[in-house]
Amino acid sequence: MPAGWPRVILYASLASLVVLGLVSGIVLFLVYLERRVLGRLQARIGPNRVGPWGLLQTTADALKLLTKEDIVPAEADRILFVLAPLVVFFGAAMAFAVVPAGPRLVLVDLGVGVLFVVGMGSLAMLGYLMAGWASHSKYSLLGGMRAVAQLVSYELPLTLALLGVVILSGSLAATRIVEVQRHGWFILLQPLGFFIYFTAGLAEINRSPFDLPEGESELVGGYHTEYSGMRWALFFLAEYAGVFSLSALAATLYLGGWLGPWLPGPVWLLLKTFALVFAIIWLRGTWLRPRLDQLLSFSWKFLLPLSLVNLAFTAAEVYFLRWLGVA
Amino acid sequence: MTAVFWFLAGVTVLAAAGVMALPNVFHASLCFALSFFALAGVYLTLGAEFLAAIQILIYTGAIAVIIAFAVMLTPPAIGHSNLSNRQRLWAGAVALLALGLLAGGLVPVRWPEPGPLRATSAASLGELMLTRYVVPFEVAGFILLVALIAAITVAKGALKP
The B residues from 86 to 125 touching A (CB cutoff 8 Å) are 119, 121-123
> Are A115 and B54 an interchain contact pair (Cβ–Cβ within 8 Å)?
yes
Domain span holding position A263: 71-324
Whether A99 is covered by a domain: the verdict is: yes
- The residue of chain B with its CA nearest to that of A167 is B123
Residues of A in contact with B73 (CB under 8 A): 145
CA dihedral sign of residues A100, A106, A109, A110? negative
- Residue B63: half-sphere exposure toward Cβ, Cα within 13 Å: 14
Q: What is the pLDDT of residue A2?
A: 46
Digit-coded pLDDT (tens) for A269-295: 888 888 999 898 888 888 877 777 888
Q: CB–CB of A123 and B57 under 8 A?
A: no
- How many other CB atoms are there within 10 angstroms of residue A159's CB atom? 19
Q: Where are the domains of chain B?
A: 1-80, 122-161
Q: Is residue A58 part of a domain?
A: no
Taking CB atoms and an 8 Å limit, are B69 and A123 in contact across chains? no
Q: Which of A110, A118, A148 sits opposite B65 (nearest CB)?
A: A148
Of A259, A281, A277, give the one whose Cα is nearest residue A268: A259
The answer to whether the CB atoms of B60 and A141 lie below 8 A apart is no
C-beta of residue A186 within 8 angstroms of C-beta of residue A165: yes
pLDDT of residue B81: 65
Cα separation, A186 vs A44, whole angstroms: 38
CB within 8 Å of A7: residues ≥ 6 apart: none
Instruction: Identify the CATH assignment for B1-80 out of 3.60.70.12, 1.10.10.10, 1.20.120.1200, 1.10.1060.10.
Output: 1.20.120.1200
- HEC per residue, A104-140: CCCCCCCCCHHHHHHHHHHHHHHHHHHHHHHCCCHHH
CA distance A171 to A167: 7
- Rounded-to-integer distance, Cα A277 and Cα A248, Å: 9
A257 phi and psi angles, rounded to 5 deg: 50, -120
Question: Which DSSP string do the residues of B111-145 spell out, in sequence order?
Answer: PPP-----PPPHHHHHHHHHTTTHHHHHHHHHHHH
* Residue B80: strand pairing partners: B24
> Is the CB of B69 less than 8 angstroms away from the CB of A1?
no
In a domain, A38, yes or no: no
Interface test with B, best of A117, A126, A136 (most B CBs within 10 A): A126
Query: What residues in chain A have their Cβ under 8 A from chain B's Cβ atoms?
Result: 1, 5, 80, 110-112, 115-116, 118-123, 125-126, 129-130, 132-133, 141, 144-145, 148-149, 152, 155, 170-172
- Does A63 fall in a domain? no
Q: How far is Cα B69 from Cα B61, in angstroms, rounded to an integer? A: 12
Q: What three-state secondary structure class fits A31?
A: helix
**What pLDDT score was predicted for residue A1?**
39
pLDDT of residue B73: 75
Chain A within 8 Å of B22 (Cβ-Cβ)? no
Nearest-neighbour CA in chain A from B111: distance (Å): 24
Which residue in chain B has the smallest CA separation from A80? B27
Residue A65 belongs to some domain of the structure = no
Is residue A260, in this structure, part of any structural domain at all? yes
Q: Is the dihedral of CA A130, A135, A141, A147 positive or negative?
A: negative
Contact A176/A169 with Cβ under 8 angstroms? Answer: yes
pLDDT of residue B14: 94
In a domain, A186, yes or no: yes
Nearest chain A Cα distance for residue B56, angstroms: 6
pLDDT < 70 regions, chain A: 1-5, 8, 212-221, 326-327
Residue A253 lies in a domain: yes
ipTM of the complex, rounded to two decimals: 0.79
Q: What is the dihedral of CA A35, A37, A41, A42, to 10 degrees?
A: 20
Residues A115, B123: C-beta atoms closer than 8 Å: no
Q: Which residue, among A86, A90, A120, A133, would best test binding to B if mutated, counting the most B CBs under 10 Å from its CB?
A: A133
Instruction: Determine the pLDDT at residue B22.
Output: 83
Do B3 and A9 meet the contact criterion of CB atoms below 8 Å apart? no
User: In the 3-class helix/strand/coil scheme, how is A213-251 assigned residue by residue?
Assistant: HHCHHHHCCHHHCCCCHHHHHHHHHHHHHHHHHHHHHHH
Give the three-class secondary structure for B80. Answer: strand
Q: Are A135 and B74 within 8 A, CB to CB?
A: no
Nearest to A257 by CA among A174, A162, A170: A174
One digit per residue, the tens of pLDDT, for chain B of length 161 reads: 688 889 999 999 999 998 888 888 888 888 888 999 999 988 888 877 888 888 888 888 888 888 888 887 776 655 566 667 778 889 899 999 999 999 998 888 887 776 666 666 777 888 888 888 999 999 999 999 999 999 888 888 766 65
User: Distance (Å) from the C-alpha of residue A56 to the closest C-alpha of chain B?
Assistant: 38
